[in-house]
Structure 1
Amino acid sequence: MRMAKHAAAPHRIVVVGGGAAGLELVTRLGDTLGRSGAAQVTLVEKARTHLWKPLLHAVAAGSLDRAQHELHYLAQAHWHHFTYRFGEMTGLDRQAKQVLLGATRDDEGRQITPPSSVPYDTLVIAIGSVTNDFGTPGAAQHAVPLETPEQASRFHRRLVNACLRANSQEEAVRPGQLHVCIIGAGATGTELAAELHRTVRAVVAYGLTRIDPERDIRIRLVEAAPRILPALPERISVATTDLLHGLGVEVLTGRRVSEVKADGVCLADGEFLPGELVVWAAGVKGPEVLRDIAGLETTRTNQLMVERTLQVTRDPDIFAIGDCAACPRPDGSPGFIPPRAQAAHQQASHMIGQIERRLAGQPLTQFVYRDFGSLVSLGRYSTVGSLMGFLVGKSMFIEGLFARLMYRSLYKMHQTALHGRAPVLWRTMAGLLTSRLESGVKLH
């Protein structure tokens, strides 16, 4: 469909989802098309604030205060010339070209905003992914997923409360009372295991004298695949496993969870792992709202099928990017581009040009994903990873300080896309000056 270069009214661009991809996209579109009046840019998002998703494990462990890293959508919209619509997408009316929003309510159940709709000319769906517990009995009731900052904070509160409870009770610490079971040894689960080893001990060191960390605290990482970090190169997996073993983290691979109970985890082979603190970090899928949404084509895991142009397969006016999009691999091999932060960032950047071409009536171009490697942060202990095509033209294994700096640079790139270079530089310098005054672990 060729768009007229000069329309009677501004072209309506609606982005649903304010994660890394969606927020970077509306910020850049607002700074260009929104500022000039060439388009009306709107972000639809059910949350009030944004936090870079790879930081969730640090929030859960208590090594990062989310309040210092959250960005308020309303303020970002004001600063960058787009409109923020608070609400959750409940459906689409493709014929009328409208995004349908459900009512929002506060913690007391009072309505904040009524059901409504948002008209669009170009729609970009970027609502990310949610945890897939594969219907495991007890997982939804007893395990905490790490999809949102609220869930990460919830687990941290549960962790601190468990330590306070164990220290104040008359009887000795129960077996499993302070045991943590992390289900899923992808990047999130693995990074959380390393962070927790330090932060739980830091919490106990603040006067919880009746808890013996070596006796009472145990962290287990459970993975159904033959090795941890199964989606990453084997060398990264081996190096990470060795480090976790050195910390005393129990790594159980090739073990599938059959049930989660209030006091522990049952494995398919019959073994029971005592543990009253359980995190589910295994598997992802598209949000339930995408299942059969408006007749669009989806995968079995609720991802929207997209063409190489990032348009969904059944509607040229709708695009999908990030974890909710099933995008073909650039080499034509089976499968889709992995749901990773670098893929979402690249797709958001590509969408800038796609929308500009639509407004100019020009043909769209195909998205080409470039894998720049993988990095896994193990807190203050180490960072390991591989860089693809860096310096030497092939994959290179890195670890230690250099890997840590590269890992931190990914977050700085995201911040720069949202705020610009100068503000990020000033914030970084301020953070270095104030870091010495902080406890190093969140205690509430």
Structure 2
Amino acid sequence: MKPSTYRPDARLKAPHRIVIVGGGAGGLELATRLGNTLGRRRQAEVTLIEKTRTHVWKPKLHEIAAGSMDMSAHEVGYLAQSHWHHFRYRVGEMVGLDRERQEVLVAPYVDDEGTQITPPRTFGYDTLIIAVGSQSNDFGTPGVYEHAMRLESAADALRFHSRMVNACIRAHAQTAPLLAQQLHVAIIGAGATGVELAAELHRTTREVVAFGLDRVDADKDIRVTLIEAAPRVLPALPPRLSSATEGLLRKLGVEVLTDAKVAEVLPGGVLLGDGRLLPAELVVWAAGVKAPDFLKDLAGLETNRINQLVVNPTLQASRDENIFAIGDCAACAWPEANQGKGGFVPPRAQAAHQQASHMVRQVRARMAGKPLADYRYRDFGSLVSLGEFSTVGNMMGGLIGGSLMVEGLFARMMYLSLYKMHELALHGFAKVALDTLARSIVRRTEPHVKLH
């Protein structure tokens, strides 16, 4: 269908109702910017619906899991953010949609003790933006759900870190020899998340045992295995960077297995397709992504094979002009991809950031009854952090017409700047500068790894 402009009618004399579902990088940035403008001036009611209470930038989850970042110093409370930036935060998980009545259906919110905090609710909208992100795709592999951990949320990352520290303490306290799987970590998927986690774990596990767990020999007892079904690690990056990354991981002592398909995840390890059994106390699934399952056939909206909402170039859902989707959950065409052969915008934080900025202009145009503009993705490349050891990536491909390979300190500074851009979008310069200074001071007085 052809995208059309929004035309107010007599029913909508009240402030325009903007509902954003999902408080990830794109959703929270969008809510903050719309709140600072339309919400502050009472030109619109901006509501953010999110099932968790705090926000952490998803590319940082591997650092929380490894223990190299203290989540409490970086998390953003949605309730405080909404108060300071003039939008409403409502806790809950979207479970349905009534397109005819233009209402979002939200499930009851239940706390960790099983107590219902909020009842089932509905929220009316004039413009709905779905920004619920993505989750791991296990491709139907047996045992993943039962025995593997994932890094989809801050809670997942904290759970992994707790188990890792407990595994080190357990190994130190026991008098019997270590079992085959003890202190072995198997990471399935050598994309950015898997590679970054493997590199961080090499350092942080050694720092953990250095705090008095002297019966654990880090070089002998701790083992990290990175498993990838593709012929090389970081298959989305150029081969030279993949080769350099693999060489560094092997130098650190990480066992790298490529062309290795996982047949099943077992309680004590991983079974490969060729019959090899890899013992592991902790298994992390970091292979593949898909949009949340509830989006499939949501109120008749069009989705693709990985549950993403199919959107027009304006970011409007293909079957409803009142609904938009941004970030990982949106299947947005990218005609320039694959050397002009076409493709889709990749699930990256930079894409969510760009689409959030575009949606601010779209909402304003829609409220004014003006035509909507097409979104065009600008590819600034990819960066992968290997902790304190290195950072690699390809940058500015969309600007120079090619691919500029970057490594080392410059790449690391570029990687850190991506997070600072996200913080600036949420908090502004003054708060980010003060928070950065405070973190730097605290880091000098505390362990560089979280020990609990």
Please tell me the TM-score bracket, short chain as reference. over 0.9
Matches of 2:248 and 2:265, distance apart in 1: 27
Q: Give the match's secondary structure for 1:36.
A: coil
- Give the TM-score of the pair, scaled to structure 1: 0.98
Q: Which residue of 2 aligns with 1:4?
A: 8
Does the 8 Å CA contact 1:330/1:368 hold for their aligned counterparts? no
287-296 or 233-242: bigger deviation:
233-242
Residues 237-284 of structure 1, C-alpha deviation per residue, up to 9 Å, x if partnerless? 111111101101011011110111111100001000111111000011
Q: Which residue of 2 aligns with 1:309?
A: 314
What is the identity, as a one-letter code, of the residue corresponding to 1:130?
A: Q
- How many Å apart are 1:391 and its aligned residue? 8.4
Q: Which residue of 2 aligns with 1:361?
A: 369
Matches of 1:391 and 1:130, distance apart in 2: 30
Matches within 5 A, 1:328-339: 328-331=333-336, 333-339=341-347
Matches within 5 A, 1:252-267: 252-267=257-272
Matches within 5 A, 1:30-429: 30-331=35-336, 333-389=341-397, 394-429=402-437
- How many Å apart are 1:397 and its aligned residue? 1.1
Residues 53-81 of structure 1, C-alpha deviation per residue, up to 9 Å, x if partnerless? 00000000011111110000000000000
What is the identity, as a one-letter code, of the residue corresponding to 1:342?
A: Q
Q: Give the match's secondary structure for 2:39.
A: helix
What is the identity, as a one-letter code, of the residue corresponding to 2:277?
A: F
420-429 or 1-10: bigger deviation:
1-10
Matches of 1:434 and 1:5, distance apart in 2: 55
The question of 1:16 aligning with 2:24 is answered no
Residues 269-324 of structure 1, C-alpha deviation per residue, up to 9 Å, x if partnerless? 10001111110000111101101100000011111000111001000000000000
Matches of 2:74 and 2:275, distance apart in 1: 42
Matches of 1:169 and 1:32, distance apart in 2: 59
What is the identity, as a one-letter code, of the residue corresponding to 1:148?
A: S
Matches of 1:342 and 1:21, distance apart in 2: 9
What is the identity, as a one-letter code, of the residue corresponding to 1:272?
A: L
- How many Å apart are 1:335 and its aligned residue? 2.8
Does the 8 Å CA contact 2:379/2:398 hold for their aligned counterparts? no
What is the identity, as a one-letter code, of the residue corresponding to 1:319?
A: F
Q: Which residue of 2 aligns with 1:442?
A: 450
- How many Å apart are 1:373 and its aligned residue? 1.0
Unmatched segments (≥5 aa) in structure 1: none
Does the 8 Å CA contact 1:175/1:216 hold for their aligned counterparts? no
Matches of 2:9 and 2:73, distance apart in 1: 42
Q: Give the match's secondary structure for 1:208.
A: coil
What is the identity, as a one-letter code, of the residue corresponding to 1:29?
A: L
Residues 86-110 of structure 1, C-alpha deviation per residue, up to 9 Å, x if partnerless? 1000010000000000111111211
Q: Give the match's secondary structure for 2:245.
A: helix
What is the identity, as a one-letter code, of the residue corresponding to 1:241?
A: E
Q: Give the match's secondary structure for 1:437.
A: coil
Matches of 2:58 and 2:400, distance apart in 1: 30
- How many Å apart are 1:334 and its aligned residue? 3.9
Matches of 1:43 and 1:31, distance apart in 2: 14
Q: Give the match's secondary structure for 1:329.
A: coil
Does the 8 Å CA contact 1:173/1:211 hold for their aligned counterparts? no
Matches of 2:247 and 2:9, distance apart in 1: 59
Does the 8 Å CA contact 2:31/2:46 hold for their aligned counterparts? yes
Does the 8 Å CA contact 2:21/2:49 hold for their aligned counterparts? yes
- How many Å apart are 1:393 and its aligned residue? 5.7
- How many Å apart are 1:152 and its aligned residue? 0.5
Unmatched segments (≥5 aa) in structure 2: none
Residues 136-161 of structure 1, C-alpha deviation per residue, up to 9 Å, x if partnerless? 11111111000000000000111111
Matches of 1:401 and 1:105, distance apart in 2: 45
Q: Give the match's secondary structure for 2:27.
A: helix
Matches of 1:58 and 1:195, distance apart in 2: 7
Q: For residues 90 and 392 of structure 1, do their structure 2 counterparts lie closer, same or farther at Cα, with a shift above 3 Å needed?
A: closer
Q: What is the aligned-residue RMSD (CA, Å)?
A: 1.4
Q: Give the match's secondary structure for 1:99.
A: strand
Does the 8 Å CA contact 2:335/2:343 hold for their aligned counterparts? no
Residues 190-249 of structure 1, C-alpha deviation per residue, up to 9 Å, x if partnerless? 000000001011111111121111221110000001111111222221111111011010
Matches of 1:369 and 1:106, distance apart in 2: 39
- How many Å apart are 1:389 and its aligned residue? 4.7
Does the 8 Å CA contact 2:378/2:398 hold for their aligned counterparts? no
**Runs ≥4 residues deviating over 6 A:** none
